Amino acid sequence: MASLNDESLDGSQTAIDIRGIIDSIKIEHAVDSDFQFKDLFTGGPSQHFRRIILGVSSQFFQQIGGCNAAIYYFPILFESSLHKSSDTSLLLGGVNMIVYATFSLVSFWTVESLGRRKLFLIGSFGQMISMIITFGCLIPGTPTAADGAAFGLFLYIAFFGATYLTVPWLYAAEINPLRIRAKGAAAANVVNWSINFLVVMVTPIMVAHIKWGTYVFFAAVNACFIPFIYFFYPETSHRSLEEIDMIFAKGYYENISYVKAAQELPKLSVQDMEQLATQYGLAEANEFEKSGLEHVEEVVSKAS
C-alpha cells in the first residue's frame, strides 16, 4: 500500500488505506467466520445474491450480445452473408482484429473517466445500432448494401472493444464483497464461457437458416440490456471496495434503488464507513474498537 501511495510505511494515506481494509475484513468476519454455500444466496444489508446476479449478468451480456459470433466467424460471415471471396474475407478478418485491438485501448482511459455504468450503456446501444445497420444493409442483397453491412460489423467490434471487452471482468470482481468475491467472480466466469460455447455453436446454424435474421436477434438482445443496466447497475467507479458494501447497505435500509444509493452516497472516509457499518448493522461498534491507528501500527510493524 505504501508503494502504491508513493510514501513511507508510516505514511498517513497508507495508514488510512490499511485501516479501511482491516475494517472491511472485520465486517465480513463479524457476520460469520465460516463460509457456507447458502451465503451466496443471502439478502439483507450485504445483498450477496443480488450482487452475484449483477456480476453474472454482466458476463452473460458480454457473450449473448454476439461478440464471439463476430470475432470467431468474421471471415465466414463475410463469405456467407456478404458474399466476399475467401482471400478478401480473411484479409478483412485481420483488419477486424486490428480494429478490435485498437479500440480495446480506449477503455484504459474511459473506465474511470466515464465509469462502468456509462460504458455498459454506451456499449449496449452501440452494439445494437451496429447490428441494426448490418441486418438492414443485408436485406437488399446488393454489393453496395453489403459494404454497409461490413461497416456495421466493424462498428460493432469497435464498440465491443471499447466497452464490453473489459468492463464485465472488472465489474464482476468488484461488485461482490470480500466474503464471496472469489465465488462470485467464479460464477461469472462459468456463465461467460458457457454462453460463449452456446453462441459459437449456434451462430453457423443461425446464419445458414435465418441469414440476416441472425443480426436482428443480436440487435434485439443488446436492446434488452439497456433498461436492465439503467435500473439495476450501480456505479462503482471512484469507489473503494469497502464503499461498495455501503452502497448496498444504504439501498437495503433506506428501501431505495441501489443505483440511487450509489448516486446519493458521498465519498466516504474510513471513519464514515465505520459509522455507517454500525448504523446499517454490518458490524457492531465494538468490532472497530481495535481498528484504529493502533491496529494499523501493528500491521506496519509486521511489514517492517
Separation CA 157–CA 106 (nearest Å): 13
The answer to whether residue 28 is domain-embedded is no
Total structural domains in the chain? 2
The answer to whether residue 34 is domain-embedded is no
Domain match, 75 and 165 both: yes
The mean of the pLDDT values for the chain is 86
CATH for 151? 1.20.1250.20
Domain match, 144 and 208 both: yes
The answer to whether residue 37 is domain-embedded is no
Domain match, 87 and 225 both: yes
What is the residue-level pLDDT of the chain in tens, covering all 304 positions? 899 889 998 898 898 888 878 877 776 666 555 667 888 888 888 899 999 999 999 999 999 999 988 888 888 777 777 777 888 888 888 888 899 999 999 988 899 899 999 999 999 999 999 999 999 988 887 777 778 888 898 999 999 999 999 999 999 999 998 888 889 999 999 999 999 999 999 998 998 899 889 999 999 999 999 999 999 999 999 898 888 989 999 999 999 999 999 999 998 887 788 788 878 877 644 444 444 445 555 655 665 5
Separation CA 109–CA 91 (nearest Å): 30
The answer to whether residue 189 is domain-embedded is yes
pTM comes to 0.82
What is the extent of the structural domain holding 290? 238-304
